[in-house]
A and B are shown apart, each in its own frame.
Chain A
């Protein structure tokens, strides 16, 4: 193991960055694609169907156990789908604004792949026994960077809808962007109590996501040990609802609205340009759930009051940074996977809202609730924190 670390540290810093970035993209992109298969399987399970379970290359039937298993899971459907998207004719309708039409799917991917740089997804103990976050960049303005870059994703919807130059995509794009702008407010307000709590008076002040997880890593029955979802359930609910709206998932599926808008903003798209919108949607879902887990569900700590550092001591991993890092990533990714499952279950349970209901919920219910929640916690924290 030490040889691996030495080899890694002998590389040029720029090369290290490039390798790390490519690793993260290399994981995020295929999982984004694979989520479509999981979505189909989950929907099938909820509707009492087997789901995709037929396709298989003929020579794969000879592989004893693995072949039928992969067929049952439907992996080859996913591969055929992906291959089809790359290979089929890529239509470019004659009536569209060509530059912006091709720019829109790219603009959908950029914020999705940029926000991941500031989201830490694991941690390890260094030689001095301090917890060090694993991530592409540990910036001090973490959550602000996520919101700032995430807010740029609205452009891909507007531009896709507008450049398609036809009625339904335009309506879908306008609806979706109005929805994104409305829910961004509640989302930002809902996380402020968390940072009020993390930034004790007299400190230097930080917005980093790593420090939020640190504030949830106390040992047994201490104040710091409980996750923020126990202290701030209202914040967590507001953030979760806004997250569904921001990622355009049902029941906030205004961007697409198949029933009334054909396919919404991507009606005119096909092949991999269409596929990019979907990979971006799943990537946004994963990053959004990651941020939720970091803020409210203790990040890479396996259980409330059981921080990662204690687990490392029990398992004798304190001087094994690689294994501890892998363990923390597994815990974090496991929580994200649970969240993706929640997204899918909600999608196949709750019917789509009407547009006026969405606007009413956003502006008349969530926003006042978020402001009241912030005021309440500002007073409580100012009163309580000096006493602990």
Chain B
């Protein structure tokens, strides 16, 4: 069990790092898939097979496919990435510093809650009950957010022609 956990954890982290590092966008998308498969494996080890397969279906099956689709259509050759500007470097440094600060303060101060001994069995019914009662509002908000994003894409991508006045 431990061996499987370490294998999947290593796979996830290593591929996640490679997603950030690799210069070719297609490579990055492929590493993202492998990383997601690793996360799905971790879910299976936690007895959450449903979550694992939903993750595969939605992210590896659909979202990354669209990433890959767009990357290939735009044809980003590895050499075409522009070198960093000063502003980007400063922003990256500040962001990294804040993240590091957060990690340090979490490590030093936070008290992790004791692991729940008797968690509810991960049945389909348990998931559904949680989604439709406790987490109903977040689900609705996320759905609404996605709807707005979709509308935005339609508005941005459609070319609206200005009608000329009939004289």
A: residues with CB less than 8 A from B are: 100, 139-141, 144-145, 147-149, 151-152, 154-155, 158, 162, 170, 174, 177-178, 181, 184, 199, 203-207
A152 contacts B60, C-beta separation under 8 Å = yes
Bound state CA distance, A155 and B60, in angstroms? 10
Partner of B73, one of A139, A174, A181: A174
Q: From A145, A148, A154, A158, name the one whose CB has the most chain B CB atoms within 10 angstroms.
A: A148
Chain B residues closer than 8 Å to A158, beta-carbon distance:
65, 68-69, 72
Bound state CA distance, A170 and B69, in angstroms? 11
Segment at the A interface, from B50-58, B84-92, B155-163: B50-58
B: residues with CB less than 8 A from A are: 26, 33, 49-50, 53-54, 56-57, 60-62, 65-66, 68-69, 72-73, 123-125, 128
A148 contacts B65, C-beta separation under 8 Å = no
Since A140-B49, A181-B62 are in contact, a sample of 18 more A-B pairs with Cβ atoms closer than 8 Å, ordered by chain A residue number, is A140-B124, A148-B57, A149-B53, A151-B61, A152-B61, A154-B65, A155-B65, A158-B65, A158-B68, A158-B69, A162-B26, A174-B73, A181-B65, A204-B123, A205-B123, A205-B124, A205-B125, A205-B128
Partner of B53, one of A100, A148, A155, A181: A148
A139 contacts B49, C-beta separation under 8 Å = yes
Give the shortest distance, in Å, between B51 (CB) and chain A (any CB).
10
A-B contact list, 27 entries, CB within 8 Å? A139-B49, A140-B49, A141-B53, A144-B53, A144-B57, A145-B49, A145-B53, A147-B53, A147-B57, A148-B53, A148-B57, A151-B56, A151-B60, A152-B60, A154-B65, A155-B65, A158-B72, A170-B72, A177-B69, A181-B66, A204-B123, A204-B124, A205-B123, A205-B124, A205-B125, A205-B128, A207-B124
Bound state CA distance, A371 and B26, in angstroms? 35
Bound state CA distance, A199 and B124, in angstroms? 10
B56 contacts A152, C-beta separation under 8 Å = yes
Bound state CA distance, A206 and B124, in angstroms? 6
Give the shortest distance, in Å, between B142 (CB) and chain A (any CB).
19
Chain B residues closer than 8 Å to A206, beta-carbon distance:
124
Chain A residues closer than 8 Å to B54, beta-carbon distance:
144, 148
Bound state CA distance, A308 and B141, in angstroms? 48
Known contacts A204-B123, A205-B125; is-contact A151 B53 (Cβ 8 Å): no
